[in-house]
Amino acid sequence: MTYSSAYFTHDGQSLDEAQTAKLDLICRKLDLRPGMRLLDVGCGWGSLICYAATHYGVHATGITLSQQQRDFIAGRLAERRVDNVDVRLLDYRDFDALPGTSESFDAVSSIEMGEHVGEKRYLDYARMLFRALTPTGRLLLQQMSRRSDAAPGGGRSSSATSRPTCTCAHWRTR
């Protein structure tokens, strides 16, 4: 079960195929390899962490605010006998409370979750994502946005406002 956008690569592709194509594209962009540690912030129904663990051999950790999503993922993992995935009921703002956070992750993803953070907290969210990475780790952030003139009352997404600040601050520390 996937809650986010799909990646259609050809005509006639089904939604399920396009969702799988998206998961695989994310894993390839993160350059995932067996044994790596992946953190998915706002993991939703767990499609990415389950896919990455079973197809790329990573140790995946997902964080979600939803007990229902956590229970769904736990049931799915038990059915498939997958043991290299951990799902935590945790707010990203409480990330430091996650056991093992003294260790960083080789890859961090956050798929269509940033829109829910709000502009006021966006920089804290971005800092948390970067803080979770190893010095050579990769971050994949997928968000929706729209032009300011696309809809009445619409405006730039918080990422459009914050991106230059976050990117520059990140590269200055690397």
How far is it, in rounded angstroms, from Cα 168 to Cα 55? 33
How far is it, in rounded angstroms, from Cα 19 to Cα 16? 5
CATH of the domain at 96: 3.40.50.150
pLDDT of residue 121: 80
Report DSSP state, residue 106.
Answer: E
Question: Model-level pTM?
Answer: 0.79
Q: Is residue 118 part of a domain?
A: yes
Domain of residue 98: give its range.
29-144+154-173
Q: Is residue 63 part of a domain?
A: yes
Q: What is the pLDDT of residues 94-150, one digit of tens each?
A: 877 555 556 689 999 998 877 778 778 888 888 889 889 999 999 988 776 655 555
> 89 or 166: whose pLDDT is higher?
89
Q: Is residue 103 part of a domain?
A: yes
Q: Which residue matches tokens 């979770």?
A: 132
> 149 or 27: whose pLDDT is higher?
27
**pLDDT of residue 52 exceeding 90:** yes
Q: Is residue 99 part of a domain?
A: yes
Number of domains within the chain: 1
